[in-house]
Amino acid sequence: MIKKICTLLVLTALFSCKKEGQTNVPENQINDSVTEVVVEDTAAVGSTNIITKHIPKDCHQVYIDLLTNSKDYKETTKGLKEAIVANGGTGIQINLITSPDPSKHKSLKKGEVFTFAVSESYPDHTAAIATYIYDPVKKQLSKEDVVLAEFVPVPFDKKYIAEIEENCK
């Protein structure tokens, strides 16, 4: 019975994905580690063993986490989801527009940097909030300053560089 429940949870998680390149982000998303719980039912012995194994993150998710856990993103979107929903919207949407490997990173097209378009999502339209880029060569996250028409570096948690190297080979 426990095996069936665990299998159902894993299958539900696998098949509840969005379109490639599009991610709806929960307000307080923190996804630091992913583990699989395997339950071994040893009926003959009369006990249950629980084994946990590390599951590598999806490469696309590592880049989304890098962005959504940055201080600038959190400040930019603080309280915004509630306002969007109050105005008939569905929330905040992140589209990965460009990446060096579109099939691997689930981006819409090929580019030298990762370009993220953050938008308000409504049933009939989207409204741009911000554009971020992550340069994998410089290992730098930047936000577009629309007044200066340039990208300005923003701080981010450097632990994501190690996660990129671990999960996005």
The string of pLDDT tens digits covering residues 51-107 is 544 455 788 899 999 999 999 999 999 999 999 999 999 999 999 999 999 988 888
The structure tokens 């028409």 sit at 149
In a domain, 49, yes or no: no
Q: Is this prediction's pTM over 0.75?
A: no
CA distances in angstroms from 68 to 8, 64, 112, listed in the order given:
28, 6, 21
C-beta atoms surrounding 101 within 10 Å? 11
In a domain, 151, yes or no: yes
pLDDT at 40: 43
pLDDT at 47: 54
Report the number of distinct structural domains present in the chain. Answer: 1
Q: How confident is the model at residue 50 (pLDDT cuts 50, 70, 90)?
A: low
In the 8-state DSSP scheme, what is residue 119? Answer: E
In a domain, 67, yes or no: yes
In a domain, 46, yes or no: no
All residues at 6 or more sequence positions from 84 whose CB lies less than 8 Å from its CB, including other chains: 90, 91, 92, 120, 121, 122
Q: How confident is the model at residue 133 (pLDDT cuts 50, 70, 90)?
A: very high
In a domain, 115, yes or no: yes
Distance CA 155, CA 11 (A): 36
The string of pLDDT tens digits covering residues 6-45 is 444 433 443 333 444 444 444 434 333 333 444 444 445 5
In a domain, 1, yes or no: no
In a domain, 110, yes or no: yes
Range of the domain at 108: 19-30+58-167
In a domain, 134, yes or no: yes
